[in-house]
Amino acid sequence: MGLSYNVYLNSNRIYGCKNCKTHLSNHEDILSRNFRGQHGKAYLFNTVVNISEAEPVERNMTTGRHVVRDISCRQCNEIVGWKYDKAYEASEGYKEGKFILEAELLVNVR
Amino acid sequence: MRIENNGLNSQASVADSGRSGANGASAAAVETNGNGAGIRNGSGKLEGGSTASSFTMLAPPTPKPSYFGHDREEITRIVIQSLVDLGYHKAAGVLEEESEYTLESPEVSEFRDAVLQGQWNKAEELLFGLEINKDADVNALLFYMRQQKFLELLEVADVSKALHVLRTELTPLNQSVEKLHSLSSLMMCISADDLKARAEWDGAAGLSRQQLLSELSKSISASVMIPEHRLASLLDQVKKNQLSKCLYHNTANSPSLYTDHHCDRNQFPLSTVEILTDHKDEVWFVQFSNDGARLATGSKDHTVIIWDLEDFRPIHHLKEHTGAITYLRWSPDDSKLLSCSQDKHAKLWDTTTGGCIRTMNAHTDWVSSCAWAPDGLTFVTGSVDKEMILWNLLGENIHTWTGARVYDLVVTADGTRLAAVCTQHKLHVFNFVTREKEYERDLGGVSTCISVSKDSRYILLNMGAGVQELRLLNIETGADVRHFSGTKQEEFVVRNCFGGADENFVVSGSEDSNVYVWRKENGALVEVLPGHSGIVNCVAWNPTNPYMFASAGDDRNVRIWSKAPQPQLKGKMKGVADSFTISSITHSEATQTTTLTITDATPILTDAHLGDSISVSGTCLTITSFTKDTFTVDLSPETLRRTTFPQSLPPSSSSPVQVNLERAVSGDVRFGGHFVQGHVDTIAGIIDRRPDGSSVVLRFRPRDREVMKYVVEKGYVTIDGASLTVIAVGGGSEEGEGQGWWWEVMLVEYTQEKIITARKQVGEEVNVEVDITGKYIEKQVLAYLGAGDGETRGGLLERIVERVVERKLAERK
């Protein structure tokens, strides 16, 4: 779909897609490191860039039922994590609109 | 009383008012001496008449006829001035005599002479006698005159007099102190030459007196002393006005004054004349070679193709990149081509052999852009890895600019500047020679493309998400000059270019599949050209042909646009007697009917009557009105649903909508096909097209699969009104059902010339009517079998079976 350039972040610690090194988020945007994904450790981020979102699905997670969508790197289409659309439990509401990136699928870019 | 001199008197008074206007005293003075110098009628009678006229000035002047609404005097004096400008002094004199108007009153002539001869005191006196503009600074004028006097005195080394002038004449005028200081410093000059150099003044014998006169005349009332070259400046205004109104102005020539200038729309490249389809994925870049003979295209399929523009065939396929091609640039002499790719390399190719000369792989991220220095010995590549690198032809890194992640960069044609746009929404301009940064400017939005005009003065930027317009900037100051809007550009890179003779136009691609063209001078939108499906990524104008440009799109096509082809030229199609063009389509919301108008249809209308049937691309329509060469038909909503007729002509069609026309069969004709009702059943798309010897085989897939029941091998099908034999039916096994989903027809050479379908490409649609016989048979069989008409049981077959079973059972008993 046309030529589209990546967004580039400015910070000292940037996480990028392990596959193609596209910038995904800053270290400063981490909200919590206490998550686990299919591949192990995962972090909750405030904002991520250069991703495309899939369709929302309902999933049962260890913390309850949520509506999530998988997110993948825009350039190489590898899945890098998911985004919380909605949390059914009130205590999990803080996750809504935030992103999970799995540590295993990330790499430090400079 | 000399009543008979009334005419002459009136002349005198009219001439007077022309000369010095308000000043009543001088009018009287003029009266007496005016006849000698002014009105050169040469008749002695006038002398007597003048004294009488000082008493009969009250007689109203007989008005002379105006020149088509313009003041006769103004026109005549301007013409006299033009004649003098052109050098026809005798003619000017004759005109002055004949018209009895003078170009300048005697005072003005005297003033002019005084200045030109350096008689400064006289000139000052006369200056006050002339009508000066109210807002003119008299002191400034006097200063200017006296300055000239001062300089001339210095020139002849008359220092004491010059000093006297400086003290008594220049200083009291209270002009700026710096000017006085600089003038006094000029007194230190040793020689006349030194003086002239320092003061930037070319001496009394040079043009300085003329220039002084010009300056002074600007402050004198225009009707007294007509501004210089008045006719020329009026004509300039007219030309500018006509040019700005001419939307399609595509020539560099200055318009002739003989006719009102108006460029014809048909001279503008509006139609697609070629579609180049060789690329296997989205085409992201296109550029013409500098000599206009070749075209280079770069695509997401990792290849670059160099095309020959004579026959639009590819010359070379350059396949060495391992990533999508983002940018291409021909070298100034067209011998080399630079390509930039997402594989982080830039490659230098030889355009004659198609071989890669060198690969530059210093970048650590996508190479986004490149540009040649005008001498063709060095080039710059830019990348989103924050570096712009200057290379020589050996692939050596001469210089690196670091700092900005560059999306696009250009080097001006005069080699003075390098301009780049970056991810941080800034424009950076460097001096290309010294490599220093001149300035950077925040653009307020992301810019995906930068182009520079041939005169190296303007840059054109495409602005993306949020702003969505094109901006023309002055490269010296970085200030906005003009905006061009209309395009859609949210997420992707869309490129622009200057184009047309003398770069009169600005062209851009867009995410809404159209190509946009504006007039550069005033930002007016000239054309919106549809044709591509998907984003139009890049546009390029042929530098040597103002009537050709190219566009590259996500639909894998490169379209070449030019003037609508003349009916008799271009390649394999010969006279297409039965194919006609729809000239207009109008739609009425009230009746939900669309009306088609077809012109140039004389051959088909020979014995037409209102209400006659005419088959338009296979659709039987009724003629609702007609003239000798035009007719109209109406399309009902049902017709529109079933056929390929558009509801409206695309705005400036890339290619005109053509139709085949056929009248109803008459009684005595030889019947070589099958009965075609003209009742279109559905539309079908062309899914494949291949040659078979000199014939062409077309494969169709219908929109409504049910019609496949009626299409049999070697049967008839009517496509766009032409009765054709089905040579094959298929698509069954892959789809898993027995009926199949495509059929093929073969068009022999003769048919190819006659029917419009032959010219349609894969993806286009046709009107389809299946053989009616099949439908009748089907209905009968279904009726017999009882499978239709809402019967739950019964039907002939069932009853037959029932009776046979009953009989058998009865027999058994």
Q: Which of B341, B369, B493 to mutate to test the interface with A (most CBs of A within 10 A)?
A: B493
* B14: number of Cβ within 10 Å: 17
Of residues A19 and B39, the one with the higher pLDDT is A19
Give the pLDDT score at B567.
56
What percent of chain B is modeled with pLDDT above 90?
29
Chain B residues within an 8 Å CB radius of A1: 282, 492, 534-535, 554
Q: Is A8 within 8 Å of chain B by CB? A: yes
Instruction: Tell me how close the Cα of B353 comes to any Cα of chain A, in angstroms.
Output: 29
User: Could you give the dihedral angle defined by the CA atoms of residues B332, B321, B364 and B445, in that order, rounded to the nearest 10 degrees?
Assistant: 60
User: CA distances (Å), B554 to each of B270, B367, B492, B663, in order?
Assistant: 20, 20, 11, 42
Q: Is there a contact between A3 and B492 if contact means CB atoms under 8 Å apart?
A: yes
Least CB–CB distance from B492: residue in A1, A6, A7 = A1
Domain assignments of chain B as residue spans, ordered by start: 104-228, 273-303+317-507+515-533, 676-734+741-750
Instruction: Tell me how close the Cα of A3 comes to any Cα of chain B, in angstroms.
Output: 5
Q: Is there a contact between A4 and B492 if contact means CB atoms under 8 Å apart?
A: yes
- 3-state SS record for B442-491: ECCCCEEEEEECCCCCEEEEEECCCCCEEEEEECCCCCEEEEEECCCCCC
Q: Is A5 within 8 Å of chain B by CB? A: yes
User: B381: exposed, middle or buried (C-beta count within 10 Å: 0-12, 13-18, 19+)?
Assistant: buried
The length of chain A in residues reads 110
CA distance B506 to B516: 8
CA distance B595 to B647: 9
- Please tell me the total count of domains within chain A: 1
Q: Is A34 within 8 Å of chain B by CB? A: no
For the stretch B370-403, pLDDT in tens is 999 999 999 999 999 899 999 999 989 999 999 8
On the question of pLDDT at A109 being above 60, the answer is: yes
Chain A residues within an 8 Å CB radius of B534: 1
- Concatenating the DSSP letter of every residue in B570-623 gives STT----TTEEEEEEEEEETTTTEEEEEE-S-GGGGTT--TT-EEEETTEEEEE
- What is the rounded average pLDDT of the residues B100-112? 80
Lowest-confidence region among B195-209, B576-590, B697-711: B576-590
Give the pLDDT score at A56.
93
- Concatenating the DSSP letter of every residue in B12-69 gives HHHHHHHHTTT-HHHHHHHHHHHHHHT-----THHHHHHHHHTTSTTSPPPPPPPBTT
User: CA distances (Å), B16 to each of B9, B131, B230, B523, B775, in order?
Assistant: 10, 13, 22, 49, 98
Position B31, amino acid: E
Give the pLDDT score at B282.
93
Least CB–CB distance from A5: residue in B282, B384, B511 = B384
Q: Is there a contact between A2 and B537 if contact means CB atoms under 8 Å apart?
A: yes
Least CB–CB distance from A4: residue in B405, B493, B534 = B493
Q: Is A1 within 8 Å of chain B by CB? A: yes
Question: Please, which residues have CB within 8 angstroms of residue B45's CB and are 6 or more apart in sequence?
Answer: B5
Chain A residues within an 8 Å CB radius of B533: none
Q: Is there a contact between B284 and A3 if contact means CB atoms under 8 Å apart?
A: yes
Q: Is there a contact between A5 and B511 if contact means CB atoms under 8 Å apart?
A: no
- What is the rounded average pLDDT of the residues B82-106? 86
On the question of pLDDT at A7 being above 90, the answer is: no
Least CB–CB distance from A3: residue in B405, B534, B537 = B537
Q: Is there a contact between B326 and A3 if contact means CB atoms under 8 Å apart?
A: yes
Residue A35's domain spans which residues? 14-108
Instruction: Tell me how close the Cα of B651 comes to any Cα of chain A, in angstroms.
Output: 25
For the stretch B442-464, pLDDT in tens is 998 899 999 999 999 999 999 98
Chain B residues within an 8 Å CB radius of A20: none
Lowest-confidence region among B208-222, B404-418, B764-778: B208-222
Q: Is there a contact between A4 and B511 if contact means CB atoms under 8 Å apart?
A: no
Range from B74-83, B238-247, B300-309, B709-718 that averages highest in pLDDT: B300-309
Q: Would you place residue B1 in the very low, low, confident or very high pLDDT band (cuts 50, 70, 90)? A: very low
On the question of pLDDT at B735 being above 60, the answer is: no
Lowest-confidence region among A18-22, B116-120, B332-336, B404-408: B116-120
Residue B276 is encoded by which pair of tokens? Answer: 């180049």
Lowest-confidence region among A20-29, B503-512, B610-619, B646-655: B646-655
CA distance B431 to B424: 21
Q: Which residue of A has its CA nearest to B535?
A: A2
List the one residue out of B271, B274, B280, B272 whose CA is nearest residue B298.
B280
Q: Which residue of B has its CA nearest to A20?
A: B365
Position B198, amino acid: R
A54 in a structural domain = yes
User: B610: exposed, middle or buried (C-beta count within 10 Å: 0-12, 13-18, 19+)?
Assistant: exposed
| ipTM of this complex | 0.85
The predicted model scores a pTM of 0.59
Q: Would you place residue B48 in the very low, low, confident or very high pLDDT band (cuts 50, 70, 90)? A: very low
Q: Which of B366, B421, B508 to mutate to test the interface with A (most CBs of A within 10 A)?
A: B366
Of residues B405 and B677, the one with the higher pLDDT is B405
Question: Please, which residues have CB within 8 angstroms of residue B422's CB and are 6 or more apart in sequence?
Answer: B404, B405, B406, B407, B428
Q: Would you place residue B28 in the very low, low, confident or very high pLDDT band (cuts 50, 70, 90)? A: very low
Position B10, amino acid: S
Instruction: Tell me how close the Cα of B288 comes to any Cα of chain A, in angstroms.
Output: 20
On the question of pLDDT at B29 being above 50, the answer is: no
Return phi, psi of residue B499, to 5°: -165, 175
Give the pLDDT score at A58.
92
Long-range contacts of B651-655 (CB under 8 A, 24+ apart): B651/B528, B651/B530, B652/B270, B652/B527, B652/B528, B652/B529, B653/B270, B653/B271, B654/B270, B654/B271, B654/B272, B654/B529, B654/B530, B654/B531, B654/B559, B654/B561, B655/B271, B655/B272
Average pLDDT, chain B: 81
- What is the rounded average pLDDT of the residues B223-249? 84
Q: How many CB pairs under 8 A join A and B?
A: 37
Q: Which residue of B has its CA nearest to A21?
A: B365
A58 in a structural domain = yes
Instruction: Tell me how close the Cα of A84 comes to any Cα of chain B, in angstroms.
Output: 24
Instruction: Tell me how close the Cα of B432 comes to any Cα of chain A, in angstroms.
Output: 26
Instruction: Tell me how close the Cα of A17 comes to any Cα of chain B, in angstroms.
Output: 14
Asked if residue B379 lies in contact with residue B367, where contact means CB atoms within 8 angstroms, the answer is no
Query: Starting at the edge strand that comes first in sequence, how are the strands of the sheet with B387-392 ordered?
Result: B367-372, B378-383, B387-392, B397-402
List the one residue out of B358, B340, B342, B341 whose CA is nearest residue B350.
B358
Q: Is A74 within 8 Å of chain B by CB? A: no
Q: Is there a contact between B282 and A1 if contact means CB atoms under 8 Å apart?
A: yes
Which residues of chain B approach chain A closer than 8 Å at the C-beta? 282, 284, 300, 324, 326, 366, 368, 384, 405, 407, 423, 448, 491-494, 511, 534-535, 537, 554
For the stretch B136-153, pLDDT in tens is 777 888 888 888 888 888
List the one residue out of B634, B592, B600 whose CA is nearest residue B614.
B634
- What is the rounded average pLDDT of the residues B771-784? 83
Chain A residues within an 8 Å CB radius of B368: 5
Q: Is there a contact between B511 and A2 if contact means CB atoms under 8 Å apart?
A: yes
User: Which CATH architecture group holds B273-303+317-507+515-533?
Assistant: 7 Propeller (2.130)
Q: Is there a contact between A8 and B405 if contact means CB atoms under 8 Å apart?
A: yes
Question: Please, which residues have CB within 8 angstroms of residue B640's CB and are 6 or more apart in sequence?
Answer: B594, B647
Asked if residue B297 lies in contact with residue B279, where contact means CB atoms within 8 angstroms, the answer is yes
Q: What letter would DSSP give residue B166?
A: I
Lowest-confidence region among A80-84, B221-225, B389-393, B745-749: B221-225
Least CB–CB distance from A5: residue in B300, B493, B511 = B493
CATH number, domain with residue A57: 2.170.150.20
Q: Which of B492, B533, B538 to mutate to test the interface with A (most CBs of A within 10 A)?
A: B492
Instruction: Tell me how close the Cα of B317 comes to any Cα of chain A, in angstroms.
Output: 21
Sign of CA dihedral B151, B155, B156, B160: positive
Q: Is there a contact between B407 and A4 if contact means CB atoms under 8 Å apart?
A: no
Asked if residue B384 lies in contact with residue B405, where contact means CB atoms within 8 angstroms, the answer is yes
CA distance B345 to B433: 25
Instruction: Tell me how close the Cα of B537 comes to any Cα of chain A, in angstroms.
Output: 7
For the stretch B154-200, pLDDT in tens is 888 888 888 888 888 888 887 778 888 888 888 887 787 887 877 77
Return phi, psi of residue B344, to 5°: 75, 5
Q: Is there a contact between A5 and B491 if contact means CB atoms under 8 Å apart?
A: no
On the question of pLDDT at B677 being above 50, the answer is: yes
List the one residue out of B715, B765, B780 whose CA is nearest residue B743.
B715
Q: Is there a contact between A5 and B407 if contact means CB atoms under 8 Å apart?
A: yes
CA distance A48 to A80: 11
A49 in a structural domain = yes
Q: Is there a contact between B554 and A2 if contact means CB atoms under 8 Å apart?
A: yes
Question: Please, which residues have CB within 8 angstroms of residue B158's CB and are 6 or more apart in sequence?
Answer: none
CA distance B401 to B195: 47
